[in-house]
Structure 1
Amino acid sequence: MAAVHEASLGAGPGGGRAGARRLIRESWYRARARGVDPECARPAPGPPADVELRRDASGLREALPVLRETLLGAYDPLEHIMLVCDADGVVLWREGCHRVLRQADTAGLAEGMRWSEQQVGTNGMGLGLVARRPVLVHHAEHFARSLHWWTCAAAPVHDPRTGRLLGAVDVSGPHHRMGPAALALVSAAAKVAEGELRLRHWASVDRLRTIAAPLLAGMSAESGLRALAVDPEGWTAAALGMTPPERVTLPARMAPGTAWLPALGLCALEPLPGGWLIRLTPQRQELAEAGRVVLDLRRAGAPAVTVQSAAGGWSRELSPRHAELLYVLAVRRSGLSAAQVAAALFDDATRTVTVRAELSRLRRTFGTVVDSRPYRFADGMEVEVLLPEVLGELLPHSTAPAVLAARHPEAEAHSPGW
């Protein structure tokens, strides 16, 4: 592997085929494009006080006990350490064998250090955040040569309410002590952590329901009134005069007053303890045809979209799949059939059932911004796509042929027929 690493440092995204996996090869390519030096790549320290602030903001503190129990209890704590980082790759917590912790100190694997792929190159936590899936980075698969004695297994942790990337959990140790079972274990630990966060979320929705249900019952005398009580992430706790959606897409910045919501139209918003009361207008007001969509793909871990029109404005972070779909629709403004979208996403034009289901969810979220037959942005919509500075960082989690072709235009063709 060390020989493959050496041979690949001067190669493009298709280099090093003899030994490096595509996941590792593309990560090396992004690190080279960013100017990371494999001889002296080091994590960047932040202010000491910043760690506690990041811990509170990360949303991961509540999952820490189950991560300790799963990883430090099940895996040999005498040879390994557990690390938890936020979505920026900053290490928030680390625990485990004191001897291995001292070894980790020499590499900068300490609380407050930023282990993003952009900063250090290929490493477990950084690559897990970029790829959005569990990864094992073994020995010379690390971009920095100073880490070739080390092996990391990492898995991303997502907010079950929103799908937002919260950070990653990692098990690391000397490479001769780490086996493939570490990847399965850390993947399971991430799922257990997300399950704990999900239980806490539904408990908060139940608390909101106890407040909102009597309030809505008292409003039932108002003729034709339709209203919802939702938590800060839009999950429905109670409803009046309508079949409640499971979740409502809310503006990025909520404030009392009138707002346009994609799934409901023009609404009045009122704060509740632990959520919001949404009153629907008597007649639904759709988003005007003329408007502007900005698809922001500059941050690998946080693709986002903003919609503005005469009826109102709205913005939110995107799930990986919705980011891929909107990118494909932005590239082909004339529209695509379900088979063409399937070819663009999966390199398989027969997967139309999956595509129609995904696009149905997309249209429920975005309202009239996206049309069908063919699938496209609504007529009159101005669409702008903001791309990352390094094209190799365009939706790096994606394996969709349409994204691969844009990410590496100089490399071999990736199913150009879509």
Structure 2
Amino acid sequence: MPPPAPLLDGDRTVNHTPQKPAPAAPGGTRETARVLSGLREAALSGLRPPPAAHPLIGESWMRVLRLGLDPDRGAPARLLPLDELEHRRRTSPLAAVLPTLREGLVSVADAARHIMVVTDADGRVLWRDGNARVRLEADRIGLEPGSSWAEESVGTNGIGTALVTGRPVRVHSAEHFVRSHHSWTCAAAPLHDPRDGRLLGVVDVSGPAATVHPATARLVASVARLGESELRERHLETIERLRAVAAPLLCRLGGARAVAIDRSGWTAAVTGMPPPGRLALPENFGTGSRRIPALGPCTVEPLPDGWLIRLDEVCPPGPGDAPPVTGVALDLRRPGRPTLTVTGGTGDWTQPLSPRHAEMLYALARRPAGRSAAQLAADLFGDPSRTVTVRAEMSRLRRTLAGVLDHRPYRFADGVDVRLLAPDHPGDLLPRSTAPLVVAARRAEDGPAPSRPPRPGS
């Protein structure tokens, strides 16, 4: 099948808590902008964000201040080369749901003098559509295909802040960190891969601040959920196709233990053993003799969109179990992208973590003696009665991380060396988390904020 034609700028072929609106002022939009500007100036002057600033915005201002970004101009704009932009468009899973996003947002954005923007997980603008005049105005502030709208490039904004927090975000007028963006408003929502929870990118609606509508943020969040639902349906269709291919092959194995999985480790069909659920696959997984943490030594063969895994019936000398895990590294240094690296007799393997699993492993790393289900529920939810949720999530984690976790109480297994790689600044710890334990750790940043970067010419 020939590759799809490039999707060009303007081509129309294709349980998060909502953020409260910016503080309103009696004088309307202009007065609200003045109030927000005052809050921003207070933060830039070295004060912590005043209580009137929304916590998502105030925390973002603090992160950007620590980066030393110029509050008047941001970082120099560097567009992706055209070939790199086209490559990212072709390989982005969001290309498949672009028609759904456009159908839900472009007509509304166009009528409201706004534009719709879709970025990848790095904050690079892949597609842009909507009002033609507003697209020209967006070019002047660098909101164009190939540009970076991550927080480290342009400060607090709907796209970059949604990428960091993993939550829908509305940024209005002077809530933007960079002064040249104060005439704009934006509402953005992240999109995640339903197969593994990986952040895929952000859909955003932006336009002149004077045309803001309070319902835009909820509309964007709703359309993002529709996009994720379509991705989930496509994944289920892939699993069904893989099952149809794998079932006859498994029937011919004569009762040998084997499982067919998709590229993300989800089980499509199984024989001779209980269904393992989703498997954590080591990096650089491929055909040949392999050792999978949850299964042990295996032989892997390719299938369309997946793998056929045969468990080795004859194991090397010893009890036949996988060599013991000797160490784990919980890496929380990249906001929004926690990972766990496991070290053992089979070598190292790394896997991304969902926000919830990152919180749970952080709690266990902070409490080496272990935590009961009630204690973990208090750490994560502030409610020790939510033990059913904790036990279900820990059961999933223990199946995925064979040999890493123990229970009664929940803890890292004996003999496992645990390294917690935390951000340089406490305020950057799991920024999307609302778990009481994590929030308390982030508050360790209390104190004077870094001094304001000098203005050019000052």
Instruction: Please tell me the TM-score bracket, short chain as reference.
Output: over 0.9
Structure 1 residues 334 and 68: alpha-carbon distance in aligned structure 2, compared to 1, 3 A threshold: same
Match of 1:238 among 265, 269, 276: 269
After TM superposition, list the pairs within 5 Å mapping 1:13-28 onto structure 2: 15-28=48-61
Match of 1:323 among 354, 358, 368: 358
Correspondence for 1:147 among 181, 187, 197: 181
Q: 1:360 aligns with which of 363, 382, 395?
A: 395
Helix, strand or coil for the counterpart of 2:129?
strand
Letter in 1 for 2:289: T
What residue is the counterpart of 1:258 in the other structure? 289
C-alpha deviation, 1:242, in angstroms: 2.3
Residues 324 and 80 (structure 1), Cα distance of their counterparts in 2 relative to 1, 3 Å cut: same
Post-superposition Cα deviations, 1:109-160, rounded to whole Å, max 9, x if no partner, equal 0000000012211100001111101111111111111111111000001111
Among candidates 219, 227, 234, match of residue 193 of structure 1: 227
Conserved? CA contact 2:329–2:421, under 8 Å: yes
> 1:287-346: CA deviations, max 9, x gaps?
444511111212213211111112454321111111111111112112112222222222
Secondary structure at 2:111 match in 1: coil
User: How many percent of aligned residue pairs carry the same amino acid?
Assistant: 53
Equivalent positions of 1:83-232 (< 5 A) are 83-220=117-254, 224-232=255-263
Please tell me whether residue 305 in structure 1 is matched to residue 340 in structure 2: yes
Give me the whole-angstrom Cα distance separating, in 2, the residues matched to 1:347 and 1:17.
25
CA distance in 1, matches of 2:378, 2:354: 20
Distance 1:99 1:331 in 2: 52
Q: Provide the C-alpha distance between the structure 1 equivalents of 2:154 and 2:97, rounded to a whole number of angstroms.
A: 26
Matched position secondary structure for 1:214: helix
Matched, 1:37 2:37: no
Q: In structure 1, how many angstroms separate the alpha carbons of the residues matched to 2:141 and 2:107?
A: 25
The one-letter code sitting in structure 1 at the alignment partner of 2:172 is H
Q: Is 2:368–2:412's contact at 8 Å kept on the other side of the alignment?
A: yes
- The corresponding residue for 2:18 is none
What's the CA shift for 1:33?
0.7
CA contact (8 A) 1:164 1:317 kept: yes
- Superposed CA deviations along residues 83-131 of structure 1, whole A, max 9, x for unmatched, are 0000000000000001111111111100000000122111000011111
Does 2:423 match 1:392? no
- Structure 1 unaligned blocks of 5 or more: 413-418
Shift of 1:281: 3.2
The question of whether the paired residues in 1 share the 8 Å contact of 2:325 and 2:342 is answered with no
Q: Which residue of 2 aligns with 1:268?
A: 299
Aligned to 1:279: 310
CA distance in 1, matches of 2:144, 2:375: 47
Deviates more, 1:391-400 or 1:277-286: 277-286
Distance change >3 Å, CA 385–CA 285, structure 1 → 2: farther
Give the alignment's Cα RMSD to 1 decimal: 1.9
Asked if the contact 2:109/2:130 (under 8 Å) is kept, the reply is no
> How far apart in 2 are the matches of 1:368 and 1:285?
14
Q: Whole-Å Cα distance in 2 between the matches of residues 348 and 226 of structure 1?
A: 42
Which sits farther off after the overlay, 36-45 or 164-173?
Answer: 36-45
Asked if structure 2 preserves the Cα contact closer than 8 Å seen for 1:289 and 1:380, the reply is no
The alignment partner of 2:234 has SS state of: helix
Structure-2 change in CA distance of 1:410 and 1:165 (3 Å): closer
Change (3 A) 1:346 1:10: farther
Give distance in 2, aligned partners of 1:187 and 1:289.
44
TM-score by length of 2: 0.84
Partner residue of 1:57 out of 91, 97, 103: 91
Shift of 1:49: 2.2
Q: Who is 1:415 aligned against?
A: none
Q: Is the 8 A contact 1:139 1:151 kept in 2?
A: yes
SS of the counterpart of 1:219? Answer: coil
Query: How far off its partner does 1:354 sit?
Result: 2.1
C-alpha contact (below 8 Å) 2:74/2:153 kept by paired residues: yes
SS in 2 for 1:300: coil
The one-character-per-residue Cα deviations of 1:344-403 (angstroms, maximum 9, x if unpaired) are 222333322222222122112112211111111000001112223443222111122322
- For residues 110 and 134 of structure 2, the distance between their equivalents in structure 1, rounded to whole angstroms, comes to 12
* 8 Å Cα contact 2:364/2:370 also seen in 1: yes
SS in 2 for 1:95: strand
